Chains A and B, each alone.
Chain A
Amino acid sequence: MRFRTQLTHVPTFSKLTASLSSLGKVCWMRLEDGVVRFTIIPDQGTQVWAQLPVEAIFEESTYILESNSGIINLEVPVGALHRALRSAVTATTSQLRLTKKGNVPLLALTVHASSWTAGSNAIGISASAGDPGPESGGSGPRERETVITQEVPVKVLHETAVEGLHEPRCRDPDVHIILPSLFQLKSISERFTKLAADARASAGSSNVAASAAASPKLELSANMHGSLRLGIGTDALSISSVWTDLVNPPLDPGQLSPAEIEQLPSERMRGFDPADEAGWAKVRIDGKDWGRVLSVGRLSPKVVACFIHETALVLYVYLPGSWNGEDSCLTYYINSYAA
């Protein structure tokens, strides 16, 4: 079993692991020929199924993958991987490979970084004592190469351990819409969550335990006429923000026949008048969890939200530059809470 590759888009990889690590501690990383999959299935909250083409984060020519089945399944502590990648962001080259230390399998990240010494710095000279002839030009700033190897302990999962895992299946969405800027959405969502939490805290200290357990639930709804509504209600106030003129992306006519498209619930929802409340698909989601999901905004992606009325919200997050390619997509499954 061998896996070795050079990293190419380290900032992307780093941001990806950062947003994944906010949702769960361990990540199932599935390395396949041409495709890398990241999956997070927490006990509670949002599931992420990400699929990236190898070239999105790895250098394809150096990507070596050998195993009996052609697939390697790893259980990676995604937070540790993210911390390791942070040092690789400024690196000239960095390499990721699967090794073993004793009985513990490791993902070893080797980072070659070069930096300029500050000049006639005694520490700089002593640190690079191994270089040939450091004394010759001791006064000026010199380039210095640093090699850092970070080891992230992982678990190798057998094929039988993961074969029971599959993406959640849900019915066709009622409404699909492209979300506005995630930064804006996130800041407004966080403010709403805070408002509701404040209102609850001031409502009385008798049910502190109950309120601590359940964070406020945001109501997110959208219709097929380009409107998205985010709202929350408490005793003291009810507040909602409405975005208009968003895009409801058309479905690919290549995959579905017009007759099939006619049958979809989203077409039925499109038939409603924009002012009609029946045309809105609504989900109730956990405010804090939603904030963590929206942290994927740092990848500046395009996000299509699929609303399944009172059931679930599915986010398809397309990384920039891969809008047309189906292969680079993060899928978030968020369950709707009952009212």
Chain B
Amino acid sequence: MSLNEIWEAASASPYAPLVSKDNQFVVGFSLLFAAFILTGLFGLNRSLASIVSFGVPASLAFGFGAVFMICAVGVYPIFSAVSSNAHNLYTLLQCIGFASKATVQITPDGIRFSAEESRVVQGLAFLDKALFTSYTFNPPLDPDHEPLHDESAGAEDPDATYYPCFMVSLTALLETLKIFGVNDPSPSTALAGSGPSNRAPSAQPSSSAFTAPALLLDRSCTLQYLQDGSPLSITLSETGVKTTCDLTTYEPDAFAADADIPLQRDAIAMKIIMRSAWLHNAVSELSGTNPTILRLSASATEEPYFSLTGIGGPFSESSVEFSIEQHHTTPTNTTQQGQTHHKTLTDDGTSRARATRSKLAPTVTETFLVSPPSSMGTRLRQDYKFALVQKAARAMAVANKVSIRGDRQGVLSLQFMVEFDALGVVHSSNSLNTSSYAATGGGSGGAGGSIAGGGGGQRQTGNNTVSFVDFRFVPLLDEESLEVEEGGGFE
């Protein structure tokens, strides 16, 4: 079930307290006042009858009045969540760690972090409330609207931002989360040591005796947002040490509310679901030639059915083709455009390609739907800036599956499914271990459908928790790409 569906379903039964928050003060005050009068009357005439008529009501009025007053006057934090495993949060957030600041929106179902650059690439990570052991969210009173009205408005239009929305420094947030478990032996320190950018996909921590839940006891990570404008505070406690980080919250950009790059869900030209490791391999393979443009080409009828081509680097161009007929991938490096036969670049390249082929599981894609707009013929071709797509590399490395979607305007959406098992260890598909694939295969078949549902959702498959990270890219215009292509051709 996608987030949108949950959201819409919840709108039918909004929670309304018996006495609304606005009226609590009045009710509490009048009850206390009544208690005061009744106590006075009881004091004038102390008899058995007056106990019943004045004393008991006075006690009751005082009791309830006091509770209502506390409710009305007391300050609740708008948002407070506790997680026992900050590493999960870190894994998800580092996927979008390409920008220095992130826009945060707190919703009843989870926290949404989005990062964007130059308004052409956007990353979105959704920390579902299932990732936390406790999750409390009290939507703040909006001075402009009635809260109930707001809730119904929010249900009708999911983009309405009456939930608190602010910006924080993402780099600082990530560094803070890394402090958690700083005493751990090698795995996490090695992780912290190797910078996020050059982290090898195979360096994912795997489950071992030393990451057992017993060692994670006595730890908690608390996120708290007290009230509008207050800092987002993160408290990490371990035995003996307690670290508190107050991240200054900034007003979001004027257009941050509708900053999402629009993906036309009703005009999807392409939808491909496959294991994220293959995409990661393909992109890292292409990055070797340092291209400037990534050309995505897909066709439902003719070969190559799906290929990624790097164009504009110093080494001409290279492409990775996924063949669906033979039910395995054939990443092949072609040297020159227009050559009919595939030529491998070097001995090294050949051996690598073969190694990859033998390791990859037989199915390339779980879903492969291509319906190019009529202007393009049978082949869908779209160019993206390679450096931007590479920003999603960390997500590709961590995720289990990816859903690649493109709409008629060319906007590319990569939706990554990140799976944590019960211990909070990432189920990285990058081990390319067939046995682990078989083990998670059952749950992931259904998860494919969830990916197709769209929107950042979250669900549980057995013991595993699934989270989604979304990326969206704006395509390069045709003229622009042609220019670069010609320039590259003449060099």
Contact = CB atoms under 8 A, between A and B. Distances in A.
Interface of A: 180-181, 183-184, 187-188, 191, 194-195, 198-199, 202, 235-245
Interface in B143-200: 168-169, 171-172, 175-176, 178-179, 182-183, 189
B244 to A, nearest CB: 6
A239 B173 CA distance: 11
A241 B171 contact: no
A187 B185 CA distance: 13
B240 A237 contact: no
7 contacts: A194-B175, A239-B245, A240-B244, A242-B241, A242-B244, A243-B241, A244-B242
A313 to B, nearest CB: 19
A244 B237 CA distance: 11
Contacts of A235: 248
A236 B182 contact: no
B27 to A, nearest CB: 35
A21 to B, nearest CB: 23
Nearest to B183: A184
Q: For the complex, would chain A's binding face be called helix, strand, loop or mixed by DSSP majority? A: mixed
Given A184-B183, A188-B179, A236-B247, A198 B171 contact: yes
A238 B247 CA distance: 7
A183 B241 CA distance: 13
Given A184-B182, A202-B100, A243-B240, A238 B246 contact: yes
B207 interface: no
A194 B231 CA distance: 20
B260 to A, nearest CB: 24
Nearest to B243: A241
| Size range of the chain B interface in the assembly | 20 to 34
A188 B182 contact: yes
A199 B169 CA distance: 9
Interface of B: 100, 168-169, 171-172, 175-176, 178-179, 182-183, 189, 231, 240-248
B240 A180 contact: yes
Residue among A184, A187, A236, A240 having the largest count of chain B Cβ atoms under 10 Å: A236
Nearest to A245: B240
Given A202-B100, A236-B247, A241 B175 contact: no
A237 B243 contact: no
A191 B248 contact: no
Nearest to B237: A242
Nearest to B189: A187
Nearest to A231: B244
Nearest to B232: A237
B241 A239 contact: no
What are the 8 closest A-B residue pairs judged by CB atoms, nearest first?
Answer: A239-B245, A241-B243, A236-B169, A237-B172, A237-B247, A238-B246, A242-B242, A187-B182
A187 B179 CA distance: 8
B169 A188 contact: no
A198 to B, nearest CB: 6
A228 to B, nearest CB: 9
Contacts of B248: 235-237
Given A187-B183, A187-B189, 6 more contacts: A184-B241, A191-B175, A237-B169, A238-B246, A239-B244, A244-B242
A242 B243 CA distance: 6
Contact of A198 (B172, B182, B242): B172
